[in-house]
Amino acid sequence: MKTTLLVGAGLALGLFAEPALAAPAPGACGGLRFENGRLETGSVLAPRGAQTEACLREIAEAVKARPAIRSITVAARLPDAERLEGQGLAVARAAADVLVSAGVPRTRVSVVAPPSAPDAPGQLQLAYIERAPLPAVARLRAASGDVSVGPNPAELRPRVAGDALYTGELVNTAKGAQAELALADGSVVRVAQESLVRLGTLELTAQMQRKVQLELLHGTVETEAAKGGVGSVFEVRTRGAVAGVRGTRFRVSAQGDGTSRLETLEGKVALSAERGEVDVNGGFGSRAKPDQAPEAPRALLPAPLLGAPRGGTFPTAPKLTWKAVEGASSYRVELARAADFASGTEVQTAPGLELAVPPALMGKWFWRVLAVDADGFIGYPSKIYTFDVHP
């Protein structure tokens, strides 16, 4: 399987997911809902009258605002005495004319006059057909802090775990936030705090070949690429240069100065820049500065050996200690509510070999430490231990 990290190569992503069809503010219709192909009004839509006409005009505006809607059917459900011999169709046509006069193309409006239930009052009903929705390419498996998603930076909206994500959407994590994305091919992408990732294409074929493209605009992502068939491509692109990755588990960071940093934890990664390409095996890292060839792979720092606490309950927040790792300039300490560190994770940086846990952290916590070298390369994570704070 081949995974590629492309830095600086812009992705041409034109397809955006349609936003959910939300309920507009109540108007002449008493509220409008586009639901399962039916256009529901807040109040029963009488066959005729000024109120009906105003509501139809409101509907026309709502339809024009949704280009995915390709056709509208107006049904006049009237008692048989008012429906037969073309009377029902005439009522439906009059309603359709209002829609057309309000700007809905005539070719997209059709009329029917189906029978109504006995003793039911006459009413107009509307149904629509919309362009098939785009398939979700990922799901937000876990989210902590402020995680927002949208088609562009100006339209980012908060999202929660379980939400579907579509091609072209941007995933943004604020300071202290992180998100874990489950891609449709089974791969997992962890988006660190203060990161912005665009979901590019994700194609799966019958031969288990897949093509995954992510664009890391800034920040850091850690990726566990699922196994793909021969010829599969997994690409992560960043802004300042071009890098390529082949591997199964790796971290990519896009720094503000255009430098792309890669840490391969498992498998093999190829980092490609404009001036060259280098394969980075598991346990090694490399970086590509703007307009420079990628550096030779360097060994990642090993996992630190943790000292204390290794479990137990404490009345106040304990002090975390660990052994020194040669070559480390600082240590990244991660504290999480769950052992998978997928959500609710607090990240602290410690220059020394100990860290005082913030007093605000109460209850049970999992913790681990990663050594960071002078160039910011993050090493392997330590074992995970727990502590419990109960005053």
Partner 1 sequence: MSVSPSPRAGLARPSPALLRWLGALVGVGLAAVTWATGGAPGLGERALYDLAASRLLPSVPPTADLVLVEVDDRALAALGERWPLSRSTWARVFQALAARHPSAVVVDILFDQPGPRDALELGDDILERLRATGLDQTPAGAALVTELETRLRAQDGDARLGEALSEAGVVILGAIGLQEPSPPSASGDAPPGPPLPLSSQGLRLQFQGMATSIAPLRMAAASGGTLNMLVDPDGVIRRYPYLQGAKDRAWPSLALATALHLYPERTEALLRAASIDSGAPLMRLPTVDWLPRVSLSDVLQADPKSVGLDLALRGKTLFLGVTATGLHGQSTLPGQIAVPGVEIHAFALDNLRAGRVMRSAGAIAAAGLLETAALLGLFLWRGRRARTLAGALGWAGLGLVLHTALVGWLAADLGWVLPFVPACVGLAWVSCTEAVARGEDLKRQRGALKRLFVRYPQAAPETAVPPAREDVR
Q: Provide the binding-site residues for partner 1, judged by CB under 8 A.
A: 35-38, 70-71, 73, 75, 105-108, 110-115, 118, 125, 127-133
Comparing C-alpha atoms, which of 136, 175, 109 is closest to residue 345?
Answer: 175
Q: From residue 84, how far is each of 38, 95, 178, 304 by CA, in Å?
A: 24, 17, 62, 83
The three-state secondary structure class of 53 is: helix
**Residue nearer to partner 1 on the CB measure, 113 or 273:** 113
Position of tokens 């089974």? 186
Strands 69-77 and 109-112: parallel
166 versus 365: smaller Cβ distance to partner 1: 166
Q: Are 156 and 198 in contact (CB under 8 A)?
A: no
- Residue 218 vs residues 171, 172, 214, 246, 341: alpha-carbon distances, Å: 11, 10, 12, 21, 21
Shortest distance, position 68 Cβ to partner 1, whole Å: 10
Structure tokens at 241: 């240069």
Residue type at 242 in one-letter notation: V
> Using an 8 Å Cβ cutoff, are 377 and 298 in contact?
yes
Q: Smallest distance, Å, CB 253 to partner 1?
A: 35
Report the residue number, 161 or 347, with the smaller CB distance to partner 1: 161
183 or 242: CB nearest partner 1: 183
Q: CB 325 → partner 1: shortest distance, Å?
A: 48
Least distance to partner 1, CB of residue 104, Å: 11
Nearest CB to partner 1, comparing residues 81 and 132? 132
Given a contact cutoff of 8 angstroms between Cβ atoms, the answer to whether 346 and 367 are in contact is no
Cβ-in-10-Å burial (0-12, 13-18, 19+) of 248 comes to: buried
Nearer to partner 1, 21 or 320 (CB): 21
Find the shortest distance in angstroms from Cβ 180 to partner 1.
22
Question: Minimum distance between the CB of residue 231 and partner 1, rounded to whole angstroms?
Answer: 29
Q: Is 169 left (phi over 0), alpha (psi -120 to 50) or beta?
A: beta
3-state helix, strand, coil in the chain (%, to 5): 10, 45, 45
Closest approach of partner 1 to the CB of residue 31, in Å: 18
Q: Tell me which amino acid residue 178 is.
A: Q
Give the shortest CB-322-to-partner 1 separation in angstroms: 46
Choose between 59 and 306: whose C-beta lies nearer to partner 1. 59
**Is 36 or 50 the residue whose CB approaches partner 1 more closely?**
36
